[in-house]
Amino acid sequence: MPIWKAIVLGVIQGAAEFLPISSSGHLVIMKELLGIDLETGGVFFDVMLHLGTLLAIFLAFWKDIKHLIIEGLHIIGDVCCNIAAAVRNLFGGDCVYRKVIRSSYRKLVVLIIVSTIPTGILGVLLSDVIEAANGMILVPGICLLITALFLVIADAADNGNKKPKETTYWNAGAIGVAQGLATMPGISRSGTTITACLLCGFDKKYAVKYSFIMSIPAVLGAVVLEIKDVGKLALSGQDIISCATATIIAAVVGYISICFMMQFIKNKKYRYFAIYCAVIGLCAIGYYIL
């Protein structure tokens, strides 16, 4: 693939992954328009694009992610101690159990795990449908119209004030279902999950942060599933350079997009993105018909 095409796809991935306009849908449409054939290295290229946006999330939310990792390890330690205490108590011991969820970060770790479960289940169930949908421009066009509808709903949603302590596990499960459905090309993952967060009564800034951080397990899982076939590919030096370039571009543009969304959420004017998605969706449908 020429470098300039890799740069275009890197920009699209980095911007559309975090702006509520669907990166997968835009990539399918752009590959069609540019006549990009990724039959030989498509999996590797997609993996590298996702790694780029993952890097952007880690750069933007490193302080939060660091605390989540530390508290996640502490949760595992406390659970093991409680199991050991339960075993001792069965034999007449008098061990005291530790309180596992005792901070906002620990609650957030469990919430993200709960959200990831339905996302993973739906991802597996819809995998064949998603693979078929990625090969035709009509599906992203229709799904972009659905994204536009979600964004109109987000724009009309009341302002909430929920933070991790007030968030229920039912909220987390519902948001995970929304993320699972957003695996369809053209349905924006960030737009869908932010809409779900706002409908659940989340604080606006917390809604965006939760949407982006909860994507880490889902994206990592997708990368692991895709990367198993990378070793079978015969990639040229040009392919590797193009993929590396696209990864760096996706990371840089993705970081800028995250910073923009964290500021944009204060005004919550999603209708502009809704109009954009509707226009692009209609254009894609028209292109398919013509």
Helix (H, G, I), strand (E, B) or coil at 4: helix
What confidence score (pLDDT) does residue 212 get?
Answer: 94
User: What is the predicted pLDDT for the residue at 75?
Assistant: 96
Got the DSSP string for 160-211? --B-TTT--HHHHHHHHHHHHHTTSTTS-HHHHHHHHHHHTTB-HHHHHHHH
- DSSP code, position 95: P
Compute how many other C-beta atoms are within 10 angstroms of the C-beta atom of residue 107. 19
- At 32, the amino acid letter reads E
The amino acid that residue 65 corresponds to is: I
At 102-122, the pLDDT tens digits run: 999 999 999 999 999 999 899
Distance CA 145, CA 168 (A): 30
Nearest 10 degrees: Cα torsion 154, 157, 160, 164: -40
- The pLDDT of residue 290: 82
Looking at residue 211, what is its pLDDT? Answer: 95
Q: What are 234's two structure tokens?
A: 């015969």
Q: What is the pLDDT of residues 232-285, one digit of tens each?
A: 666 667 777 888 899 999 999 999 999 999 888 877 788 899 999 999 999 999
Residues 6+ apart with CB under 8 A from 163: 104, 203, 206
Is residue 7 within 8 A of residue 249, CB to CB? The reply is yes
Please state, as a whole number, how many other Cβ atoms lie within 10 Å of the Cβ of residue 80.
11
Could you tell me the sign of the dihedral formed by the alpha carbons of 52, 54, 55, 60, in that order?
A: positive
pLDDT digits (tens, 9 = 90+) for 76-85: 999 999 999 9
Residues 179/115, Cβ–Cβ less than 8 Å? yes
The whole-angstrom distance between residue 150's C-alpha and the CA centroid of its chain comes to 16
Phi-psi label, residue 184: left if phi above 0, alpha if psi -120 to 50, beta otherwise: beta
CA-CA distance, 132 to 215, in Å (whole number)? 23
Integer Cα distance of 288 and 150 in angstroms? 23
For the record, the structure tokens of 35 come out as: 């006549």
The alpha-carbon radius of gyration of the chain (Å, integer) is 21
Nearest to 259, CA basis, from 210, 207, 206, 209: 209
**Residues constituting the chain:** 290
Report the amino acid identity of residue 124. Answer: V
pLDDT profile of the chain (290 residues), mean per 10: 86 92 85 70 73 93 95 95 92 88 94 94 85 79 94 89 94 96 90 94 93 90 68 67 91 95 82 93 90
Q: What is the pTM of this model?
A: 0.88
